[in-house]
């Protein structure tokens, strides 16, 4: 995709950076069998491709905005401690998909602004899925887009017609009981539940109306920073299971105006049921 006249200067910088990193990732994706892979944890892999993409993004974004800070998946926080603006970067969201030759992976870059000493706000974001040729972007107050086409969330109002997305906890993650309890409440009421393996793309696909909603517990700031902006600018509703801001806590429930509250109630009920069972056995 060429630069859109709608893009702000900061987003033009991000689009250029993610496209450069994406070209290298696509080459590596074509040779995935030869990648040297190390294990970060159960089901959570990091490859040389991941690290190279992060370095490309850091170099390109630093060159364009040297005063910005960074929060990056692989290398953590960088830059000035008193940053006013920072990049929140996942160089390869959907690493397991990538390493198995599944094209559902992306690069995610959010732009976060410090508005008070202990308060920040997500202002813009770009999510680029090179293998799918899809570039999502959004900016607060300016809308969100897929390859320059305006995005709007689904207009469906009935749970029986709704398809929701989620993420299944890895074996080592201590939230499996909550996930099972939530799924048991959601599945009997909806048309389907999907687990595609990339939180950033799940948020964007909800923004594009492909899903009616999405929930997941315990995701990281870089998984959701860009996608939350894109979703909100597409008319989506966003909260944690208690109705509060999900960033950066990581418990996310999103959807359209009608179905997000219903999904949030099911997620909260599942969490409460597990807590009650645990309390009864203590």
Residue-wise pLDDT for 178-205, tens only, equals 999 999 999 999 999 999 999 999 999 9
Residue 133's pLDDT band (cuts 50, 70, 90): very high
**Does 11 have pLDDT greater than 70?**
yes
Q: What is the pLDDT of residues 145-185, one digit of tens each?
A: 999 899 999 999 999 999 999 999 876 567 889 999 999 99
The pLDDT of residue 75 is above 60:
yes
pLDDT exceeds cutoff 50 at 42: no
Question: The tokens 């370095």 sit on which residue?
Answer: 55
- Check pLDDT > 50 for residue 243: yes
Q: Name the phi and psi angles at 141, rounded to 5.
A: 85, -5
3.40.47.10, 1.10.420.10, 3.40.50.720, 3.30.540.10: which CATH number matches 9-150? 3.30.540.10
State whether the Cα torsion 17-18-22-24 is positive or negative: positive
CA dist 144 to 121, 224, 233, Å?
A: 17, 15, 5
Extract the tokens encoding 192: 């389907």
- The two structure tokens encoding residue 22: 């994406």
Q: Which two tokens stand for residue 221?
A: 């700031």
Confidence of residue 34 (pLDDT cuts 50, 70, 90): confident
Domain 159-281 class?
alpha beta
Q: Which two tokens stand for residue 117?
A: 């000493």
Whether 3 shows a pLDDT value over 90: the answer reads no
Instruction: Name which residue leads in pLDDT, 272 or 171.
Output: 272
**Distance from C-alpha of 151 to C-alpha of 145, rounded to nearest angstrom:** 5
For the chain, the domains span: 9-150, 159-281
CA pair distance 156, 47, nearest whole angstrom: 39
């Amino acid at each position: 995709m060429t630069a859109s006249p709608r893009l702000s200067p900061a987003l033009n910088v991000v689009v250029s950076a993610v496209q450069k990193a994406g070209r290298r990732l696509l080459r590596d994706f074509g040779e995935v069998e030869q990648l040297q892979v190390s294990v970060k944890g159960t089901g959570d892999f990091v490859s040389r491709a991941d690290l190279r993409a992060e370095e490309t993004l850091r170099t390109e974004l630093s060159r364009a905005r040297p005063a910005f800070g960074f929060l990056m998946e692989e290398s953590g926080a960088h830059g000035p401690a008193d940053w006013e603006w920072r990049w929140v970067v996942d160089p390869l969201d959907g690493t397991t998909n990538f390493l198995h030759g599944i094209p559902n992976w992306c690069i995610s870059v959010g732009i976060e602004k410090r508005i008070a000493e202990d308060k920040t706000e997500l202002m813009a974001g770009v999510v680029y899925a090179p293998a799918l040729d899809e570039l999502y972007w959004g900016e607060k107050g300016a809308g969100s887009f897929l390859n320059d086409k305006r995005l709007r969330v689904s207009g469906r109002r009935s749970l029986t017609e709704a398809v929701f997305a989620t993420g299944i906890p890895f074996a080592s993650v201590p939230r499996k009981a909550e996930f099972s309890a939530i799924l048991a409440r959601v599945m009997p009421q909806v048309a389907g539940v999907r687990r595609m393996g990339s939180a950033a793309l799940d948020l964007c696909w909800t923004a594009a109306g492909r899903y009616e909603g999405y929930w997941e517990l315990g995701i990281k700031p870089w998984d959701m920073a860009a996608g939350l902006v894109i979703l909100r600018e597409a008319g989506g509703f966003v909260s944690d299971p208690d109705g509060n801001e999900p960033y950066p806590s990581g418990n996310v429930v999103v959807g359209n105006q009608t179905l997000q509250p219903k999904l949030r109630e099911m997620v909260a009920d599942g969490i409460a049921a597990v807590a009650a069972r645990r309390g009864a056995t203590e």
